[in-house]
Structure 1
Amino acid sequence: MQLPVEAVAATVLIEVVRISALPAKRGVPYPGSAVAHWAGIEAADALALIENLPGSEQHRCGFSPGWSVRAYEGSLDLALFEAAFCFRCHEVRMHGTTVPPALATQFFDADTPPAQALLTLFRSTAP
């Protein structure tokens, strides 16, 4: 999976969100509870895991993401990007100031070890 290179380099904090609903429109944050914050090596490892998700073809489920990550630079003001993951239809939707249109919708193979490791990581943050 491709992430915005400049944003990855600038990321100092990742916020993990357990999504509770779809946003009212595209381009706004996904509603839900922040369940974890990763910085330093945790953030770098999570980004590397996401970047190593193998591509896939589109599956149909209606896009019902359960988790998202929001990447922040040092100021922590505005997210560089948010990536919402649907492990049923294998789709990732990204938005943010650093996300070019070509990266906004991508597909990953949710049945591979990297995807299952990411899902396990997400689930380990749930209260």
Structure 2
Amino acid sequence: MQLPTEAVAAAVLLDVVRISALPAKRGTPYPGRVGAHWIGSEAADALALIESLPGSEQHRCGFSPGWSVRAYADAFDLALFEAAFCFRCDEVRMHGPAVPSALSTQFFDADSPQARALLALFREAAP
């Protein structure tokens, strides 16, 4: 999976969000509770794991994401990007000021070891 390179380099904090609904309009944060804040090497390791997700073909389930990560730089004001993951249809949707349109929708293999490891991290962070 491809993340916005400059944003990954600038990210110092990741919020892990347990998504409760779809946003009211495209480009706004996914509603839900923040279950964990990953900083430093924990954030870098999670971003590396996300980048290692192998691609997949598009599947349709209606896109019902359960988890997202929001990446922040030092200022902690506006998220550089948010990536929402649907482990049923293997789809990731990203938005934010650092996300080029070519990266906004991607597909990953939810059955891969990397995806299972990511889902386990998300579940550990559950509020």
Tell me the TM-score normalised to structure 2 length: 0.99
1:96 CA drift (Å): 0.2
Tell me whether 1:117 sits opposite 2:117 in the alignment.
yes
Number of the residue aligned with 1:33? 33
Q: Distance in 1 between matches of 2:10 and 2:65?
A: 25
Gaps of 5+ in 2: none
1:6 alignment partner, SS class: helix
1:116 CA drift (Å): 0.2
Q: Distance in 2 between matches of 1:26 and 1:19?
A: 15
Gaps of 5+ in 1: none
Number of the residue aligned with 2:15? 15
1:110 alignment partner, SS class: coil
Q: How many residues get paired?
A: 127
Q: Distance in 1 between matches of 2:73 and 2:9?
A: 9
The letter for the 2-side match of 1:25 is K
The letter for the 2-side match of 1:21 is A
1:126 CA drift (Å): 1.2
- Between the aligned residues of both structures, percent identity stands at 80
Q: Distance in 1 between matches of 2:104 and 2:126?
A: 26
Number of the residue aligned with 1:75? 75
Q: Distance in 1 between matches of 2:85 and 2:112?
A: 14
What do the CA deviations read for 1:7-63 (whole angstroms, capped 9, x no partner)?
000000000000000001110000000000000000000000000000000111000
What is the RMSD computed on CA atoms of the aligned residues?
A: 0.4
